[in-house]
């Protein structure tokens, strides 16, 4: 004999069916609300990212313009020292890789003899930088007398303030690499190209050239994942004692 359903059981089944029908009747409204919520979250995220970039860019423009003005006597003294020390141009222009692989011309005070690039192949076997991507020598014979001083004090990097003012670089960010170096990057190492390169960075204030290349990449990725205006200001302040001490600068 089949069990008979009680009136309460029938009412419960009808309630379930009613709720189910109402849910499907309103499916378009529910989908619209969820889609709208998704687009609002996306728009908010884009606004936050763009605002952060705008604040960083305004900070770069203002600070670089101020430093270019205040340091103009240093620029003049450095130019005279380079001119008296060795023949050749005062400034050195070199193609570097910026954000998303875009090439730009990076400026430095010339610290090497004018035939430095031609002599580099003769010295590649004496590379002291672990990893083989970067080329560094503590006693590089291509460096001039004045060049040793301006490299030790990082004065040779000051013309990059013009790159910052133009927007090719930022005050803080991974150091811009040569195209030949980027060609040797692994997929993980190419994460350095996700942001605008900078004059100073985490590993610049933590040992500079004494830090192996793979460790440099790790510190750059750490910066990319946690960058903020306050972190930039902190790294800029830490750059001052790092430059004065000159540890890892060669």
C-alpha torsion angle, residues 174, 178, 181, 182 (rounded to 10):
70
C-alpha torsion angle, residues 45, 51, 55, 60 (rounded to 10):
80
Please enumerate in sequence order all residues whose Cβ is within 8 A of that of 125, keeping only pairs 6 or more positions apart, or say none: none
pLDDT in tens, the chain (250 residues): 445 555 555 555 556 655 655 555 666 666 777 787 888 887 877 777 678 889 999 999 999 999 999 999 999 999 999 999 999 999 999 999 999 999 999 999 999 998 887 887 777 767 766 655 677 777 788 999 999 999 888 899 999 999 999 999 999 999 999 998 999 898 888 999 999 999 999 888 877 667 888 888 889 999 998 888 899 999 999 988 888 776 656 5
Give the C-alpha separation, 162 to 75, whole Å.
12
Alpha carbon separation from 12 to 4, 17, 22, 24 (Å, rounded)? 15, 9, 15, 19
Beta bridge partner(s), residue 143: 112
If you search the block for the tokens 């003005």, which residue do you land on?
69
pTM for this one?
0.77
C-alpha torsion angle, residues 177, 189, 102, 222 (rounded to 10):
-90
84-103 burial: b if 16+ Cβ within 10 Å, else e? ebeebeeebeeebbbbeeee
Coil, helix or strand for 137? coil
Alpha carbon separation from 93 to 42, 81, 157, 160 (Å, rounded)? 41, 18, 12, 10
């Amino acid at each position: 004999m089949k069990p008979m359903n009680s009136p309460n059981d029938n009412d419960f089944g009808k309630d379930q069916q009613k709720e189910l029908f109402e849910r499907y009747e309103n499916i378009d409204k529910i989908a619209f609300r969820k889609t709208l919520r998704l687009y609002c979250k996306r728009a908010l995220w884009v606004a936050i990212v763009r605002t952060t970039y705008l604040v960083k860019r305004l900070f770069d423009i203002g600070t670089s313009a101020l430093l270019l003005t205040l340091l103009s006597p240093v620029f003049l003294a450095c130019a005279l020292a380079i001119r008296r020390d060795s023949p050749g141009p005062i400034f050195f222009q070199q193609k570097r890789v910026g954000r998303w692989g875009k090439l730009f011309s990076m400026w430095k005070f010339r610290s090497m003899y004018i035939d430095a690039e031609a002599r580099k192949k003769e010295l590649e076997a004496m590379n002291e930088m672990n990893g083989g991507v970067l080329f560094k020598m503590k006693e590089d014979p291509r460096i001039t007398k004045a060049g040793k001083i301006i490299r030790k004090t990082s004065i040779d990097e000051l013309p990059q303030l013009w790159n910052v003012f133009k927007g090719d670089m930022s005050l803080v960010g991974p150091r811009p690499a040569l195209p030949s170096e980027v060609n040797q990057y692994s997929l993980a190492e190419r994460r350095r190209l996700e942001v605008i390169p900078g004059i100073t960075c985490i590993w610049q204030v933590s040992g500079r050239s004494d830090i192996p290349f793979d460790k440099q990449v790790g510190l750059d990725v750490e910066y990319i994942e946690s960058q903020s205006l306050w972190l930039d200001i902190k790294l800029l302040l830490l750059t001052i004692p790092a430059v004065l001490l000159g540890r890892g600068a060669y």
